[in-house]
Structure 1
Amino acid sequence: MLRDHTIVIANHAIAPSQQQRLDIPVSRLPTQTSISLPVIVVNGKEPGPRLWLSAAIHGDEINGVEIIRQILDKIQPKYLKGTLLAVPVVNVFGFIEQSRYLPDRRDLNRSFPGTANGSLASRLAHLFMKEIVNNSTHGIDLHTAAFPRINLPQIRANLEDEQTKRFAQAFNAPLMIHATTRDGSLRHAASQKGIPILLYEAGEALRFDGEAIRIGVEGIMRVMEYLEMYSFSLNLTDINPLEIQETKWVRAARGGILHLNINIGQRVEKKQVLGFITDAFGDTEFKVRSPDRGIVISQVQNPLVHQGDGIVHLALIKEE
Structure 2
Amino acid sequence: MNRSEDNPSQDQAISPAPHQEAERWFGHDVLPGQSVSTELEITESYSGRTVVIPLRVFRGMQPGPKVFVSAALHGDELNGTGAIRTILGDDSWKLDAGTLLMIPVLNVLGFERHSRYLPDRRDLNRCFPGSKDGSMASRLAKVIFDAIVKRCDYGVDLHTAAVRRTNFPNVRANLDSPESLRIAEAFGTGILLHGSGPKGSLRREATKAGCVTIVVEGGEVWKVESSVAECMSRGIFNVLKELDMMQGEPDLPDSQVMIRETKWLRAERGGFMSMHVAPGDSVQKGQAIATNSSLLAEDQNRLETPFSGIVIGMTTLPAVQPGEPVVHVGRLANAKSVRRHARQVAGDDVQRTAHEHLATNIQVTEPTDQTE
Question: Is the structural similarity TM-score above 0.5?
Answer: yes
1:115–1:68: structure 2 CA closer, same or farther, 3 Å change rule? same
Kindly indicate whether residue 110 of structure 2 is the aligned counterpart of residue 94 of structure 1. Answer: yes
Do the aligned residues in 1 keep the contact of 2:58 with 2:95 (CA within 8 Å)? no
Residue 94 of structure 1 aligns to which amino acid in structure 2? Answer: G
- Structure 1 residue 266 corresponds to structure 2 residue 266: no
Q: Is the 8 A contact 1:43 1:77 kept in 2?
A: no
What are structure 1's unaligned runs of at least 5 residues? Answer: none
Q: What SS does the corresponding residue of 2:211 show, helix, strand or coil? A: coil
Give the Cα separation in 2 of the matches to 1:5 and 1:74: 27
Which protein is bigger by CA-based radius of gyration?
2
Q: Is the 8 A contact 1:19 1:77 kept in 2?
A: no
Q: Within 1, Cα distance between the matches of 2:257 and 2:266?
A: 24
Displacement of 1:84:
0.3
Correspondence 1:123-142 to 2 at 5 A: 123-142=139-158
* Cα deviation, residue 237, structure 1: 5.9
Q: Give the one of 203, 209, 212 matched to 2:228.
A: 212
> Aligned letter for 1:260?
M
Q: Superposed, which structure 2 residues align to 1:183-202 within 5 Å?
A: 183-202=199-218
Quote how far apart the aligned CAs of 1:272 are. Answer: 1.4
CA shift for structure 1 position 15: 2.0
Determine the C-alpha separation between the residues in 1 that align with 2:195 and 2:249.
31
1:228 Cα deviation from its structure 2 partner: 0.5
Length, aligned pairs only: 318
Paired with 1:167 and 1:316, the residues of 2 have a C-alpha distance of 22
Task: Please say if 1:223 is aligned against 2:263.
Answer: no
Paired position in structure 1 for 2:253? 238
Indicate if the aligned counterparts of 2:168 and 2:312 stay in contact, CA closer than 8 A: yes
Q: Percent identity?
A: 36
Q: 1:250 to 1:192 in 2, by over 3 A?
A: same
Aligned partner of 1:292 among 307, 322, 325? 307
Change (3 A) 1:77 1:83: farther
Alignment equivalent of 1:282, drawn from 268, 274, 297: 297
Bigger CA drift: 265-274 or 278-287?
A: 278-287
**Among 106, 110, 129, which residue is 2:126 paired with?**
110
- Provide the residue aligned with 2:324 in structure 1: 309
Q: Larger % of strand: which?
A: 1
TM-score scaled by length of structure 1: 0.93
Indicate conservation of the 8 Å contact 1:104/1:120, yes or no. Answer: yes
CA-to-partner distance for each residue in 1:22-58, whole Å, 9 max, x for gaps?
A: 2222223223343211121112222101110000000
Unaligned runs of 5+ in 2: 1-17, 337-372
- TM superposition shift of 1:213: 1.0
Preserved CA contact (<8 Å) 2:238 2:250: no
Q: Residue in 2 aligned with 1:14? A: 30
Matched, 1:143 2:159: yes
Q: 1:60 is matched with which residue? A: 76
> Contact (CA 8 Å) 1:52, 1:136: kept in 2 or not?
yes
- 1:236 deviates by 4.0
Q: Distance in 1 between matches of 2:19 and 2:202?
A: 31
What is the CA–CA distance in structure 1 between the aligned matches of 2:85 and 2:113, rounded to whole Å?
A: 21
User: Is the deviation greater in 288-297 or in 30-39?
Assistant: 30-39
Match of residue 184 from structure 2: 168
1:183, 1:3 → 2: CA distance? Answer: 41
Q: Aligned partner of 2:328: which letter?
A: H
Deviations 1:130-154 (A, max 9, x none): 1110111110000000010110010
SS in 1 for 2:221: coil
On the 8 A contact 2:77/2:160 being kept in 1, the answer is: yes
Q: TM-score, normalised by structure 2?
A: 0.81
Question: Which amino acid in 2 is paired with 1:209?
Answer: E
CA shift at 1:240, angstroms? 2.3
Output the CA distance in 2 between the equivalents of 1:241 and 1:221.
18
Q: Do 1:45 and 1:77's aligned partners in 2 also have CA atoms closer than 8 Å?
A: no
Q: Are the equivalent residues in 2 in contact too, given 1:3–1:15 (CA < 8 A)? A: no
CA contact 1:266–1:295 (8 Å) conserved in 2: yes
Distance 2:154 2:276 in 1: 40
CA–CA separation in structure 2 for the residues paired with 1:8 and 1:283:
66
Residue aligning to 1:253:
268
Superposed CA RMSD in Å reads 2.0
Report the secondary structure of 2:89's partner residue: helix
Q: Distance in 2 between matches of 1:120 and 1:93?
A: 11
